[in-house]
Chain A
Amino acid sequence: MKRLLMAMVIVLVCCLTATVVLAGGGGPPKNLIKGFFLKINPDHTAIFKKDVTGEEISLKLSEDIKPEDIPMNRKVLVTLKTEGHEITNEVKRISIMFIDLPVSKVIALLVVGLIGGLLSGFIGSGGAFVLTPSMMSLGVPGAVAVASNMCHKFPKAMVGAYKRWKYGQADVKLGLFMAASAIVGVQIGIQIQKYILDHWGNAGSNLYVSLMFVIILVVVGTYVFYDAFKLKKGGKEAEVTKLALALQKINLPPMIHFKQAGITISIWFTIPVGVATGMLAATIAVGGFIGVPGLIYVIGASAVVASATELVIAFVMGMWGSIQWGLSGLIDIRLTLLILAASLIGVQLGALGTTYVKDYMIKIVMGAVMLIVSVSRGAKIPAYLADLGLRPPLTPQTAALYDAISFWALVAALGAAGIIISAAMIRGMLQARAEGL
């Protein structure tokens, strides 16, 4: 019976994945084309050869693009201007698709990969929110950064989930149930995004994403942080929340028993948490910031089990996302594998670190990261408000300052998490060694 149920969940996940992939939801924007510039004409137009199909098309160059700046012998990613739903043939932006990789950039990718992996192995998510902006600051086009990052996320999550399953922490069944509902959540999230994009344009969409990011991260992050400090101060082990206990008592069939998490709960209560995780993943690309707290405070899992189970969800979602971005041919496998080289070590270190720390330590790291990351996103809001005409335009100096705050807050989040995890792990190991464990 158990196996049958498990098989059904896996089939459901596969079916949903296939449906979403075929429907083409999510994935890259439609106004991106890949290929080579063949010729620049004096009338500010260019002949462009599309990748794969080899079709040659004529493109109009926008006024701020200088013909001498266009790379002629390299594969480029061209962003076309849009007017409402219509994609025009006017070039808005040109980015080199495969950036050069000098040693300094390789080292930068390895360092970010290592700490991102450490964080992911420890709190179940993270890394993604800092990897994409980091790659973009190295000159990688946005869509390629998202795609390459996604493709590194699922194998990393798989290795992390396997390790934590071996330590008896990951509840694979709960993870698959959550992932199935999260995929539905992603679809809902995408529809909301489309609605906002249609009504308020790109600036409105950016503002919505940033506001959601800041509100959710500040509210949930503060609560997680408060809870962690309460536990640390009281020196007690974490208790299941009253909400989770009340929900577990409600007998609403089908009731599912999750052995590893030690929970029996109605599927009708796991679905909303999964859907919310997916919606957040579609909106701010880090579903774990709602998935892990949801598993802890609504479902009633411990922080260790919740963060481990999140890795199972991240694997399924990341695999689905990678297939989508791969269908559009936007994954730069060099970047994926360079990050993976370090993050596979980081994720295993983070995973084994959880065996040495108390439950509240995971909450402290999670809360701290969420709050610092919210500063990063909050610093982007003034620019979006100016784009919408809701405040006077920013001077170039102010805009640069906000950008710097945004980027360095991400670096600070990653750095702080790396230090807290390493210190807690080393302390735990020394203590265990002293006790002769």
Chain B
Amino acid sequence: MKPKKSKRALAIKTLVFGALSGTLYYLLFSNVDWVTTTYTMGGWHTVYPVGTALLFSFVHGAFASNFLALLGIEPKGGH
């Protein structure tokens, strides 16, 4: 079994990814008019929503993963 990550390291990671994710959400929703206009222009602009969804999934997904681990919710056997 792999050694479990220390709580401190997990907390730091959760905080960093949480702050990053929060910033991204803030940036998006504070520029919502520009975003909704640009993202729905069609054609090659499809890279905006698809790219944004991918970026958010990496950052917010990492936050969620660390957050769950910090809460002690981990898979059986601690993968």
Binding site for B on A (CB under 8 A): 34, 51-52, 75, 97-98, 151-152, 154-156, 158-159, 163, 166-168, 319, 322-323, 326-334, 336-337, 340-341, 344-345, 348-349, 351-352, 355-356, 428-429, 432, 437
Contacts and interface: CB of A to CB of B under 8 A. Distances in A.
Contact of A158 (B25, B41, B57): B57
Nearest to A352: B75
A75 B33 CA distance: 11
B57 A156 contact: yes
Interface of B: 25, 28-29, 32, 35-36, 39-43, 45-50, 52-54, 56-57, 60-61, 64-65, 67-68, 73-77, 79
A344 B40 contact: no
B76 A356 contact: yes
B57 A167 contact: no
A329 B36 CA distance: 10
Contact of B45 (A151, A329, A340, A429): A329
Contacts of B41: 51-52, 329
Contacts, number: 120
A292 B41 CA distance: 36
A337 B28 contact: yes
B46 A337 contact: no
A326 B45 contact: yes
Interface centre among A52, A326, A351 (most CB of B within 10 A): A326
Contact of A51 (B40, B46, B68, B74): B40
B76 A432 contact: yes
Given A155-B54, A333-B52, A349 B79 contact: no
A75 B28 CA distance: 19
Given A34-B40, A322-B49, A340-B53, A333 B73 contact: no
